[in-house]
A and B are shown apart, each in its own frame.
Chain A
Amino acid sequence: MPTRQGRHQPLNMKLFLYFSQVIGLDIMDAQGQWIGRLHDIAMNPYADIYPKASDLIIRRGSSSKEYARVNWEDIVYIENNIRLKIMGDRLKFSKEIPRSDFTLRRDIFDQQVVDIDDQRVVRVNDIHLLRVENQLYAAHVDVGLRGIFRRLGWTGMVDLIVFLINSKSPYLTNEELIPWKATQVLPKLGRMKSVLKLEVAKNKLGSIPPAALADIIQGLDIFVRVSMFKSMESALQNKVFTDMTLTCKAELVEQLSEAESANLITNIPADEATDLLMKLPREKAHHLMGLLGSETNKKLRKLLGYAKDSAGGLMTTEYLYLKADATVADAFNKIRENINFPGTIFFFYIVDDDHKYLGTTSLRRFFNENPQTLLIDICYPENIHVYTDDSVEQVALLLERYKSSSIPVLNHQDILQGIITIDDVMEELISLVWHKYKEKL
């Protein structure tokens, strides 16, 4: 890659250019008359794999600046200045910068972007442009130290100093370039929520695991976080939202509309939704409850009644249950119907007509059984369960003793209330352990 040319090599000889080298170039009209300087380049993000330059934005004047737009087709060449095919008087200058969906200076240069490969947020120091037949494409973003020194105009000097100190320094050869296809542009909108223009970088986020994506999003400024979150598809939104910390969820809900929040709460596991509602201000929580579907509402109301660190507070009401006369065939049908069920589909809880708990069985136990066998006959021999007011430590102890990954929760009339899975317990224990660890410090 020809990245270390001298400054004075004519720009038209280069396959790659840096945006910092073209910005501010003089612009001449068809007769060689100076008409302004290059202010920005508008890109068409849909043209190819790489966004392709579509317009120049020209700036003139110092105290009162004026801007004009020139179509890319009207350029003769880009060398040490930019020559146009048209006459200067055909350009319409105005005080407003011409609006474009996506421009390099406004949306990328000096801004933060997500590096999809390394899953981190980085700041863009320069943009690496590819030139093919007088067309410019944004090929990479430069996030390295070399980019900063290039911007300061110190490349030569710093190279020399580094070379004298250590001629094999990685600084001299390592460009920290991120390919465009691994770059996710962040919305730069601040409070102006209405101007969402994120199609530019659509769906690159899909390749990041939701948990990592949740981490990235939590590291962003709140308003960027909101816009980025809104740009995701709803299935991805649900997954990412589930993986966020409680504080982050609450902050996000404060910024989203009530309908959006209610939708999220309906689609995440009920126990996560309860934790979130308990974290929100009381009035907000009540309001949101009113917007939820009656099913969800009923589930959440039940959970909200229990202390947070009790089995009742920990449990989820999403579990699969069958009556005492159900067979193995019924269980398989139930799994098929609930393939997208947010809770576990591996355990079945057998109850009587009053929802009184009778036993637990699992896919592992009935997978090879005769379809006509009654589930009640192949339940686990030990009848392990906890009561809603049992502590989280008790739940953990039982799960460990019976090497089980879930446990039913009953009230004192032995009516099945919900189940606790091991991940819920882990979460609670981790935060307990963490508090104790912090106390010690």
Chain B
Amino acid sequence: MSFWEKAKKNKVLKNTLFFLAMLGPGVITGSVDNDAGGITTYSVAAATYGYPILWTLLPSFIVLLVVQEMNMRMGACTGKGLADLIRENFGVKVTFWIFLGLLVADIGNTATEFAGVAGSMNIFGISKYISVPVTAGAVWILVTKGNYKISERIFLMFSVALLSYIVSALAAKPDWHQVGLAFIHPQIQYDKDYLIMVLGIVGTTIAPWMQFYMQSAVIEKGTTMEDYKLALADVVIGCVATVAVAIFIMVACAATLHVNNITINEAKDAALALKPFAGALASAVFAFGLFVASIFSATILPLATAFYICEAFGFNAGIDKRVEEAPQFYTLFAAILIIACVIILIPNAPLIAITLWTQDINAMLLPVVLISMQLMVNNPEIMGEHVNNKFQNAVGWSTTVILITLTLLLMVLPAFDLFKAH
């Protein structure tokens, strides 16, 4: 009797296997979420403010959970992608502007990922003029020539890379008592820089493109409302994993950089600065994590963006299609990849300005996407009996309103700063 047959006989084991088979969309989306931009924000925040800023991950977790649950439910209920639903319910104009914004923001996001590749490889002594084009080439080959098996292996590698942050955090010998205290007794500062940092952390945890990706992944998996409980468990595990990894990154930085009063601007600075305090291993492992997270997101982001745009406007899309069959899809994918690379390779490119602009566009898109989602998830023509109940609506709308307020603040605050400077 083979292992699988034995497993099928045993009820507990059978349920566990079934559950593992259901894992996927939530966990993958959560992992892609901890990309170069996320790692940068977490490290900079922890280096600047130390353990006390850890509490921000708690609201991030709730927001992430609420939004992803809605995406999962919409996907399971309609069998349609978010791009499809927006196009079918709000028409061409709304769709066009959302996707124009998404395209620009994702080019910026992809550039950030390549900055992560350049930064992490720099630590291992490889010039960005080699690492970035090679990585982009690898991404192109993986997508056009790859298959599911290879992608799966790469995903596994990525998961291992996330574990590397645990190593970094443990090597930093953190004060766990203080870590716990940060969650139980949050100490909040009320100055502007602190507020921007808090918004940055919540904002990096929930980016507009994730909603599109999440819903497509749910459909790809074939999840329906009968699987709701398991799919919900997947979402919860994904959110917990995302936030747990964020905690380890922040703990590693807080225990070393903040304690020694070192401030940083980039994730690679964190990797470099870790060396004297936590050892060469922790530093290398941190850089490796950054590299893999960047390359993973640099693959998923352009691919996903090209896919939603084609989906919404009715072009052929998908990596199982040949280039002649889906010209718009491959053109978009190549364009996003190339533009993002070129931005990084330009000497003295204004990387910080690009990052800020990308954040602003994301911030403007988020309310539009969230309101669209709220309207559709409450529409019985779309959701049938699975529209939001009162509790879901209360949590959903308040999350939407809070996020919109936060993002508006994020956009307005730098303007005040300019105001004061003059």
Contact = CB atoms under 8 A, between A and B. Distances in A.
Contact of B78 (A120, A223, A282): A223
Contacts of A223: 78-79
B91 A110 contact: yes
Contacts of B272: none
Contact of B79 (A125, A143, A221, A282): A221
A190 B93 contact: no
B383 interface: yes
Interface stretch (B49-57, B218-226, B352-360): B218-226
A329 interface: no
B96 interface: yes
B92 A282 contact: no
Interface in A105-120: 109-112, 120
A120 B8 CA distance: 40
A441 B147 contact: yes
B145 interface: yes
A222 B75 CA distance: 11
B278 to A, nearest CB: 40
A111 B219 contact: no
Nearest to A23: B91
A190 B145 contact: no
B350 to A, nearest CB: 30
A124 to B, nearest CB: 8
Interface in A245-279: 251, 254-255
Given A110-B92, A191-B225, A148 B78 contact: no
Interface residues of B, number: 30
Contacts of B219: 221-222
Interface in A212-266: 221-224, 251, 254-255
Contacts of A190: 77-80, 381-384
A126 B344 CA distance: 41
Interface string A119-143: 0101111000000000000000001
B313 interface: yes
Q: Is the interface of A mostly helix, strand, loop or mixed?
A: mixed
A18 to B, nearest CB: 12
A90 B280 CA distance: 83
A421 to B, nearest CB: 29
A161 interface: no
Nearest to A190: B78
A112 B96 contact: no
A90 B381 CA distance: 29
Contacts of A224: 79
Interface in B49-86: 77-80, 84
B314 interface: yes
A383 B382 CA distance: 62
A191 B78 contact: yes
A364 interface: no
Nearest to B90: A110
B322 interface: no
Interface string B301-327: 000000000000110100000000000
A191 B387 CA distance: 12
B92 A441 contact: no
A433 interface: no
Contact of A221 (B80, B87, B149, B382): B80
B8 A222 contact: no
Nearest to A221: B79
A112 B91 CA distance: 13
B180 to A, nearest CB: 44
Contacts of B78: 190-191, 221, 223
B150 A192 contact: no
Contacts of B80: 190, 221
A385 B164 CA distance: 59
Contacts of A152: 92-93, 96
A222 B224 contact: yes
Query: In this complex, which of B77, B314, B382 has the most chain A Cβ atoms within 10 angstroms of its Cβ?
Result: B314
Interface string A46-80: 00000000000000000000000000000000000
B193 interface: no
B417 interface: no
Interface string B207-229: 00000000000010010110000
Interface in B106-152: 145-147, 149-150
Nearest to A188: B88
Nearest to A281: B18
B173 interface: no
B150 A441 contact: yes
Contacts of A282: 8
A191 B84 CA distance: 16
A191 B77 contact: yes
Contact of A148 (B145, B224, B313, B385): B313
Contacts of A222: 79, 219, 222, 224
Instruction: In the A-B complex, list the 4 residue pairs whose CB atoms are closest, starting with the nearest.
Output: A123-B314, A151-B92, A221-B79, A191-B384
Given A123-B314, A151-B92, A151-B93, 18 more contacts: A110-B87, A110-B91, A120-B316, A122-B314, A124-B314, A148-B96, A151-B91, A190-B381, A190-B383, A191-B384, A191-B386, A192-B384, A221-B79, A254-B224, A282-B8, A438-B149, A441-B145, A441-B146
Interface of B: 8, 77-80, 84, 87-88, 91-93, 96, 145-147, 149-150, 219, 222, 224-225, 313-314, 316, 381-386
19 contacts: A112-B314, A123-B314, A143-B314, A152-B92, A188-B88, A190-B77, A190-B78, A190-B382, A190-B383, A190-B384, A191-B384, A221-B78, A221-B80, A221-B84, A222-B224, A224-B79, A438-B147, A441-B146, A441-B147
